[in-house]
Homo-oligomer: A and B are copies of this chain.
Amino acid sequence: MTENKKVIPPYERTAHYYETDRMGIIHHSNYIRWFEETRIHYLEQAGYPYSKMEKDGVMIPVLSAECTYKNAVRFDETVLIYLKITQFNGFKMTIEYIVKGKENGDIKAIGKTRHFFVDSEFKPIRVKDKYPEVYNVFNDNKEEE
């Protein structure tokens, strides 16, 4: 279990121009999209890309998403987004995020998303038995309580 735990580097992301708004900062809605990119990056680094997971018949819809904004991010600023799987039972999952400025390490935002697992017919599933590869890629990296 913990022997399989990989150290996944944070997701590195530079803010695009079109992600700014007239306040001169990155629009708050874009962080929810950055969390999705962070999940995709995590799975790719962990060895089971989400694109492959979808081809294997599993999708991971979002049950809820939240973000608290601490410090603005500006155009061309680079952030590092850290992801932690704080709850996973093969049926539901909670992921937490910390967005830090790459230059200063200042906390830009923190977030959380909750998920469930479905098959290609959108039917909720438990992945432990039928999709062990999916089960392990999350369970192996789950935070110990």
Q: Number of A residues whose C-beta is below 8 Å from B? A: 32
**In the complex the two chains form, is A62's CB within 8 Å of B69's CB?**
yes
**In the complex the two chains form, is A21's CB within 8 Å of B20's CB?**
yes
Given the known inter-chain contacts A65-B28, A65-B66, A68-B64, please indicate yes or no for A36 contacting B23, CB distance below 8 A: no
Given the known inter-chain contacts A64-B67, A75-B51, A76-B51, please indicate yes or no for A33 contacting B16, CB distance below 8 A: yes
A33 neighbours in B (Cβ, 8 Å): 16, 18, 29
**In the complex the two chains form, is B17's CB within 8 Å of A22's CB?**
yes
**In the complex the two chains form, is A68's CB within 8 Å of B59's CB?**
no
Main secondary structure of the interface of A (DSSP, over half): mixed
**In the complex the two chains form, is A40's CB within 8 Å of B17's CB?**
yes
A57 in the interface (beta carbon within 8 A):
no
A65 neighbours in B (Cβ, 8 Å): 28-29, 32, 66-67
**In the complex the two chains form, is A17's CB within 8 Å of B66's CB?**
no
**In the complex the two chains form, is B18's CB within 8 Å of A36's CB?**
yes
Report the nearest B residue to A35, measured CB to CB. B29
A36 neighbours in B (Cβ, 8 Å): 16-18, 29
